Structure 1
Amino acid sequence: MLRSIRGQVTLLLALPLVTLVALWWIFALKDTRGHLEDETRSNLSALSASAGALVRLSGTEPESLDRVLGHWASDTGVRCTVIDRDGRVLWDSQVPLEGLPSLENHLTRPEVRRAFEAGEGYSVRRSDTTGVEYLYEARRVELPGGPTVVRVSLERNRFEGVLSSLRMRLLTTLGAALLLALGVGTWWMRRITGPILELARTADRAEAGEDIPLPPGGPNEVRLLGLSIRRMARRLNRAMEDLEEERRTLKGLVETMPVGVLMVDRQRRVLFFNDPMSDLMRSDSPPGTPVEGAVRHPKLMDAVDQLLKGGQVEATLTQSDAWSERHYLMRGVGVQGSAVVTVQDITQRVRGEEALRRFVSDVGHEFQTPLTVIRGAAELLRDYALGDNLMLIDRILEQQRRLTDMVDRLLLLTRFEGGDLGDPRELDLADLVRRAAGDASWLARDGEVQVELSLPHEAPVRASAEMEAAVRNLIENAVKYVRSKFDRSPGGLVKVTLEDQGDRYSLWVEDNGPGVPPGMEEQIFQRFRRGDQHRSRSSEPVGGYGLGLSIARGIARAHGGDVRLEWSQPGVGSRFLLWVSKGLDKK
């Protein structure tokens, strides 16, 4: 009741009236009682003076007093008592003459004692003679036989009746006023709340797209509210229509995408998945199915659990059956407690990479025999060659060594891309970095390039011996490009930093070389791709094959890590990051 406007306004009307009645009852009736009592005492004082005058005329004989004061007491409606100096009752208008001797001594009465002492006394008390509460007024009268007290009294309930009548009239008047106020207030509130309630009932129809009618009545403010709600409902309906259209468009777009999409809400229920995701889901999984009962692949289930806690996921997974094996690239993100996962079928790419690795491996092994024969034949001819023939044979041997080195690097890269770690053992990564930096110092041309190291004392890691090749390629690549930029001038700098980050080590190689050209941030990690394609290999005495970064990334990934370009700015420099898992618990 009090939560509604009608109840609150009713309370607002009733509370002041009830408070007014209570205050009037407490203060006004109390003042009225006091005024009545004062007025009654004043009247009693005048009556006691009249009675005293009559006593002076009649004397103190009981018969004379009864004859003179009897009619007077009856006419005035008061009780009159005459008391001598000893406290004996000489006459009482309510006690027969024969009963006077049995009355108590009245000197103990406060008003009588006060009258003898001060000439006039007043009290309000219950009469010991009649048992009724009176207002007493006593006055001393000087007579020849000595002082006498004349006392007049009036029953208190005579003006209590006046007060009761006043209370009843007050309650009747205030009750009528309260009912009238409540009636008028209720009628007035209906004029206000009626249109508001009608608006509330019709506002629900806006959800169905219906127009909200204006309230039939009510004050201007309510009509303005109705107009505002009506405009808001129209805008809401248009927004809902646009949203529904966008939802249908998005759903159609997602359903026709070649990428699988899965959406899971924060209550772990499946909201949506499209056909390309069906291979990883159970077919009988309508929207609202718990994710545990809908997802078939355990790795996808683990990814959903992780995303529901927040963060991102990127991994590959494999789905196998009796006839085929398919590979997927899975990416996911957690959004406000929900999870969105996409999977892309990369089976063809994986098969192509596997075929390429087999081809490179087969061709590399096939190349080793003719390259060995060429080297043997060239070395034999070199023993008998003279003049220009000797120079040509040295050129043949140089190119044979380059081809042999390239084949060895390709075979190494193919092996690590296939996940072959060889024979892992415990190594000191800090020592590998020191050796690689020292071996790269011959490229610096007598201090043209400074190599600064920031390494821990030791960095134990479980890895294969080829980890040194990954570190060496990264550092030598930085030194080579810094040297090419400064071209025999001082100022070249390569900073190598190794940090322990809990379960892994991070190696940063930062240089102030030419940087990586825009658009080639990922291409430099591909086979035979270099960051300085504008230069020919022949112009660089230590020219490479574009395999160094590919080999470094392949070795790092085989060890549960990766290599990436963290930062680069043309003409300013670049920073590469290599990180690997410690792997000390995998023995």
Structure 2
Amino acid sequence: MSRGHVSVCKLCRNRAMILSNPIILRSRQRGTIMNIRTQLTFRYIGIVLLVLLAMYFYLATVLKDSMSSHITSELEIQATLTREFLIEELPTEDNFTYALIDPLVDKLGRANNARVTFIDLEGVVWGDTERDGQALREMDNHLTRPEVQDAIKKGSGIRDRYSNTTQTEFRYFALPIHSNVGSETAGTLIGICRVALPMAAVNTAIGKLRQMALIASVAGLILVIVFSVFSTGAITKPIEKLTQVTQSLAAGNISSRVPVDSSNELGQLSHNFNLMADRIQEQIDTISEEHRRSETILKNMGEGVLLVNGVSEITYANPTAISMLELPDDYIGKALIEINRIPELQALLKKAEQTETIAFAEIQLGNLREPEAEVTVVPVSAGQEYVIVIHDVTKERQLERIRADFVANVSHELRTPLTTIRGYAETLLGENSVRTKTGEQFIVKILNHAARLTSLVSDLLELSRLELGEVELKRSPCDLNTFHAPILDVFEPLLEESGLVLKWEVPEKFPRVNVDRQLFMQIFVNLIDNAIKYTPDGGAIIVSAEICSGEGTEGAEIDSEEILLRVEDTGIGIPMESQSRVFERFYRVDEGRAREMGGTGLGLAIAKHIVLSHNGRIWLESTLGQGSVFYIALPR
């Protein structure tokens, strides 16, 4: 692809980038999002609420445990005092009566503001502050009560349980009573005293403590809410200003800037944002200027330029392209195939899409026989867009046809007088009237030059026919080895005279090639003739062929579906600066040697056009002093 095509692709990429710049485009999507001030406030409240809840439950648990422990201690003290009092006042075990014991128990209950019960070793309740008279005598046996069993076995017993007697939940504390006041362990166990407090009172006290903790937590939460509202306001105010400026920038007001009121992190952020906005302003100005220049260049280009998206819809076309393809006014957004039905153009675009590489071809835009446009398709934006560059070559093709016609006409005009001159010279040479040595030399020179001019005219005519496409290929499957004998017949005298060796190294069972046999013979003749002229005596010329393996050479990249032919010599080689021109007409690396050997300077040009007419490629590799290798690649 030419440099001009590369520049066009860059212009189109710049234009696409400018049109899709998010800073230039206005924001079309607006969401309802909770602002940062509200978010911070709720986060502060959430954190404090979690802390307060944790503290509340922790304090409630601690207070409950503390209150429970306190009540247990109080019960233990009351039970101890009650036991001591009963030891002093109780009659002997044989003299237990309800009339004596129940009044003592009632008195102790009133004094301690608690339920007091006295139980003997058989489990009989002799006194209880909650029962009197017949109700006392009918109370259940208490020997199996857990706290009573613990008092007998362990020395004390405490339980929280539901009382079947009073239908109330109590905390009980029981102690054993011994007959010997001075030493409990040495005395005789005569009964159990039990002191109890209703759990309702305990729960009420704990509930009051929890209520106080809850009130304190709510008060703290209210203070935190007030504090967070004011503190987050101070933090988010600069952010809100920054948000307003960014919205203004998104709306297209590039001159908006954020006021810098502090030197903290938010102040630094605002300062940096303003610097960024300045840089963006500069970049937008630069891009806008580049866009203006690109538009000017594209509008005034002599080449047509189109930009299509991934679904072949036209997104841009310069005036030249609009004129070439006769696009309607509403071409933007329409598929290329709907507007201009050129199969070759569609195929070229499809090739670029499939290979994701640059595609090039000559196509016919009008009704002319020759292609009148060179089209290049370049993938851009990772295959999402394609730049199509159309170069009108109608005038160039016309000039080429005029030149070829001129050469053909001149060649035809020269052939007749040259034939006449040659005929007269041969006649003079054969007559006895001209037998002087000088006259004979002149006639020989006339014949040689006439023969050379005749050969030149023949080559010019052949080249013109090839360039004009007037040569009809008569393809047939040909065995390359069948070319060996005819070529050897042509060059054997010259090879023997020069002391050269022609090596034919084409494999015996090499696949046949589908070519025009006569034209392909001309390729071999021209290449071998060229090799003989530039190979010193004693050298070698090697003809070989192989099926490509996909590995390239220095001169070209080889397709694995091609047949590669080589004509190699051990001659003087070709300088690097001349290698790209050897296939031009009349170009000679060594003018003197070429003229001395009788060359016309058209042999390699003819070989090139014959190869091109077979959809093949020809190139060379050469090293000075070592020789040259001419490659021909043909599709299988």
Q: Tell me which residue corresponds to 1:253.
A: 297
Q: Provide the secondary structure at the position in 2 that maps to 1:546.
A: coil
Partners of 1:440 and 1:78 lie apart in 2 by: 141
* Aligned residue identity for 2:258: L
Spell out, residue by residue over 1:266-310, the C-alpha distance to the aligned partner (whole angstroms, 9 max, x if none).
353323222322222423344333333343433223222333442
Partners of 2:622 and 2:320 lie apart in 1 by: 38
Moved more, 220-229 or 372-381: 372-381
Spell out, residue by residue over 1:375-425, the C-alpha distance to the aligned partner (whole angstroms, 9 max, x if none).
444333333343424333333333333233223222222222233233211
Moved more, 154-163 or 139-148: 139-148
Contact 2:527 2:604 in 1 (8 A): yes
Q: Tell me which residue corresponds to 1:29.
A: 60
Contact 1:110 1:123 in 2 (8 A): yes
Q: Tell me which residue corresponds to 2:393.
A: 346
Q: Tell me which residue corresponds to 1:318.
A: 364
Partners of 1:287 and 1:530 lie apart in 2 by: 53
Residue 511 (structure 2) pairs with residue 459 (structure 1)? yes
Shift, 1:562, TM fit: 3.0
Contact 2:258 2:273 in 1 (8 A): no
Which of 550, 555, 559 is residue 610 of structure 2 equivalent to?
555
Partners of 1:515 and 1:94 lie apart in 2 by: 132
Contact 1:563 1:576 in 2 (8 A): yes
Distance 1:363 1:320, change over 3 A: same
Partners of 2:436 and 2:90 lie apart in 1 by: 184
Moved more, 100-109 or 468-477: 468-477
Alignment of 1:271-290 (within 5 A): 271-277=315-321, 278-290=323-335
Shift, 1:446, TM fit: 5.7
Distance 1:434 1:383, change over 3 A: closer
Which of 49, 58, 65 is residue 80 of structure 2 equivalent to?
49
Partners of 1:134 and 1:242 lie apart in 2 by: 89
Residue 474 (structure 2) pairs with residue 423 (structure 1)? yes
Shift, 1:198, TM fit: 2.0
Which of 391, 397, 401 is residue 447 of structure 2 equivalent to?
397
Q: Tell me which residue corresponds to 1:407.
A: 457
Q: Provide the secondary structure at the position in 2 that maps to 1:332.
A: strand
* Aligned residue identity for 1:319: L
Higher relative contact order (CA 8 A, sep 6+): 2
Shift, 1:47, TM fit: 1.0
Alignment of 1:379-394 (within 5 A): 379-385=426-432, 386-388=435-437, 389-394=439-444
User: TM-score, normalization: structure 2?
Assistant: 0.80
Contact 2:312 2:336 in 1 (8 A): yes
Aligned residues: 571
**Two-structure CA RMSD over aligned residues (Å):** 3.5
Spell out, residue by residue over 1:522-581, the C-alpha distance to the aligned partner (whole angstroms, 9 max, x if none).
543332222234x2644x3x231111121011111111123345x567677665443233
Shift, 1:250, TM fit: 1.8
Partners of 1:116 and 1:2 lie apart in 2 by: 72
Partners of 1:228 and 1:377 lie apart in 2 by: 96
Q: Provide the secondary structure at the position in 1 that maps to 2:71.
A: helix
Alignment of 1:453-492 (within 5 A): 457-465=509-517, 466-481=519-534, 483=535, 487-488=536-537
Partners of 1:434 and 1:91 lie apart in 2 by: 145
Which of 109, 124, 138 is residue 73 of structure 1 equivalent to?
109
Contact 1:270 1:294 in 2 (8 A): no
Partners of 2:254 and 2:468 lie apart in 1 by: 64
Contact 1:126 1:134 in 2 (8 A): yes
Distance 1:569 1:252, change over 3 A: farther
Spell out, residue by residue over 1:70-126, the C-alpha distance to the aligned partner (whole angstroms, 9 max, x if none).
233123221111111211111110112220122111111011122233432222211
Contact 1:315 1:330 in 2 (8 A): yes
Residue 631 (structure 2) pairs with residue 581 (structure 1)? no
Spell out, residue by residue over 1:215-266, the C-alpha distance to the aligned partner (whole angstroms, 9 max, x if none).
4756622122111111211221121112111111121122212222222233
Partners of 2:458 and 2:151 lie apart in 1 by: 141
Partners of 2:326 and 2:481 lie apart in 1 by: 46
Residue 221 (structure 2) pairs with residue 169 (structure 1)? no
Contact 2:358 2:376 in 1 (8 A): yes
Spell out, residue by residue over 1:49-77, the C-alpha distance to the aligned partner (whole angstroms, 9 max, x if none).
22223323154432333433323312322
* Aligned residue identity for 1:581: P
Distance 1:13 1:454, change over 3 A: farther
* Aligned residue identity for 1:421: E
